[in-house]
Chains A and B, each alone.
Chain A
């Protein structure tokens, strides 16, 4: 069985997560072997995922950690830990 590009696109995310059934994975793999366009789509998607995950994308503002811990210190000193009524 041969699948068209359009169908392969629906499986790209699953393929990258390796969550496709063995049969589907095999179909997709066979398609990718001879389809330059789908291979480029797969490679670019994977590349973009890698870049998105990179710590450099979202940098912590200067002093973030210091300000956070200073604020926490105040809180930690003040009230006892409680089971908060407005939880949820």
Chain B
């Protein structure tokens, strides 16, 4: 994550929280609010459930803090708690039936990307348009949970391949395979749509 974050001595913060300076937990988690919420939202699909999951994850991490041994980064540990929380809630809601994050999917098979003759860069400013943000959110939400988790950790949270593998308790090779498929699915889904959202139509967008 940020260079600024790596300067924070999280091990020391955790130690002092466990020693009784509990208020420092606020400070410890502040940089991760967005990551945890994003992770939760991509699984829960509505803001209020996602917020619940995020709050629960932060509470659970606090209660379990003594179990954090520093074998992984705090952020990795926190994300895996969030993932478990989201998974548990979906299971209770009966939404995860056949596919679970642990299931090994058919990982063979080839995903053909959307074929394009050329690509005009879509700048980040395009995300000011709600319709474009929604397009991306939907594309992520429509990935199966296995692919979604890997894509989010690697491409949204910018975890390394190894950190992604640790957070999900899978091998780095599985991360690479799923990541490739997830990225190709995103390209296949989004490239044709984004291609038609050039600046020429900008005047037409109201929100």
Contacts from A to B (Cβ < 8 Å): 6, 9-10, 12-14, 16-17, 19, 36-37, 39-41, 43-45, 47-61, 64-65, 67-69, 71-73, 75-76, 79, 81-84, 87
Contact = CB atoms under 8 A, between A and B. Distances in A.
Interface string B104-148: 000000101111111101101011100011001100100000000
A81 B187 contact: no
Contacts of B126: 51
A87 B68 CA distance: 10
- Which 10 residue pairs across A and B have the least CB separation, nearest first? A13-B180, A40-B116, A43-B119, A56-B127, A58-B38, A83-B66, A44-B191, A40-B119, A45-B187, A44-B119
Interface string B180-199: 10011011001100110000
Nearest to A52: B155
Interface of B: 17-18, 22-23, 25-26, 29, 33-34, 37-38, 41-42, 47, 51, 54-55, 58-59, 62-67, 110, 112-119, 121-122, 124, 126-128, 132-133, 136-137, 140, 151, 155-156, 158, 161, 176, 179-180, 183-184, 186-187, 190-191, 194-195
A71 B55 contact: yes
Contact of A56 (B17, B115, B128): B128
B37 to A, nearest CB: 6
B187 A41 contact: yes
Q: Is the interface of A mostly helix, strand, loop or mixed?
A: helix
